[in-house]
Amino acid sequence: MKHALNQNDPGWYLSPEKQLLQLDTALHRAREDGASIDMAACLVERGRCLESLWQPQDALEAYQQAEQVIAPRDEEDAIAVRCRARLGSAAIHYAHADYAQALQDWQWALRMARLAGHDLATGEALLGLGRICLALGRADAALSYNEQALRMPNLDTRVQAMILLNVVSNLHALGRFNEMAQRLRLVEQLIASTPGLPFLAEWHAYCGMACCGLGDLSTARPHLRRAVALADGANNHWIRAFASLQLGKLQVRTRDFVGARKSLGQAQEIGESLGLAHTLMDIHHAQSQLCETMGNVAEAFEHHKLYHYYHEWAHDGLRRDLVRDLLPRAIAA
């Protein structure tokens, strides 16, 4: 069936514009045939392509349309497509710090994927719950979800690399920099064996962060500059903001204040254009430290206020329920 083939097709991130044209044709055919599951599968793949092209609102609409097409159906194929739609929408909500909605989508996808025995969807949902834990400052719980995700069978190399990069992120939050370096060597192998070398910019960014954590600033610098360049070349706005933030933090440490202002300013510009609340929180925190180091107390205070503003926005209405419900399950797993 067409919906089964689309799931493993890397065209959504290798050549999304071309893939969209093919999907439009397939969607038209599915509508003519009245094949609702194939229609929904095409809409999910359309959403993934639009995400890759940084059109999150259009992608979210495609995922919602996919669910509407097959919402009444409960057979295994329909559940599989609905899980993929929820996973897609959860990732978009998470990127814009709508953690409550992202959590709801990931929890629904996990429950349904487990009932239907869909290993890939189960792994991605577990990964998502880990991301929520990390956003709330609980990297230990996030690691538990990551390890559960890695134990799922039949994960392709792209998904394994994605999960391991989240492991690396959690290890960084816990200050376990030597373990970061070990995991990054495995990620490098997975990326090299995956079509299109996905996550290469992210890999360089985390390599730079690991080197910073280990005090090897001279090695960190080319990794972070490479991450920015790769993200810029791939039009990957989020990782460019993230890598520019990390480069700016390194430049503060090396007292390259002019360079730090430029890097952090670029990161802020991207974060504001995309509405990345959690990233903006980290950016303003770094800018506050930069201004304080330079002796500009008034400007440091303004950035500190913005840091708290984005922190409250990102965590409003979520922390109480999550601490009570999500974290104990992670620790017990």
pLDDT digits (tens, 9 = 90+) for 78-106: 999 999 999 999 999 998 888 889 999 99
DSSP state for residue 254 in the 8-state scheme? T
Greater pLDDT, 276 or 125: 125
pLDDT of residue 278: 86
When pLDDT is averaged across residues 11-20 and rounded to a whole number, the result is: 82
Q: What is the pLDDT of residues 127-176, one digit of tens each?
A: 999 999 998 889 999 999 999 999 999 899 999 999 999 999 999 999 99
Q: CB–CB of 290/264 below 8 Å?
A: yes
Query: For residue 165, what are the CA distances in angstroms to 22, 138, 172?
Result: 31, 16, 10
Global confidence as pTM: 0.89
**DSSP output for 44-75:** HHHHHHHHHTT-HHHHHHHHHHHHHHHTT--S
pLDDT band (50, 70, 90) for residue 318: low
Does residue 295 carry a pLDDT above 80?
A: yes
pLDDT of residue 322: 55
Q: What is the pLDDT of residues 208-240, one digit of tens each?
A: 999 999 999 999 999 999 999 999 888 788 999
Helices (H), 214-296: 217-233, 237-253, 257-274, 277-293
Burial of 213 by CB count in 10 Å (0-12 exposed, 13-18 middle, 19+ buried)? middle
pLDDT band (50, 70, 90) for residue 314: confident
The residues, any chain, with a CB within 8 Å of residue 224's CB and separated by 6 or more, are 204, 205, 208, 243, 246, 247, 250
pLDDT of residue 280: 93
pLDDT band (50, 70, 90) for residue 249: very high
Greater pLDDT, 32 or 1: 32
**What gap in Å lies between CA 111 and CA 114, rounded to an integer?**
5
Percent of the chain with pLDDT over 70: 91
pLDDT of residue 5: 41
pLDDT of residue 96: 84
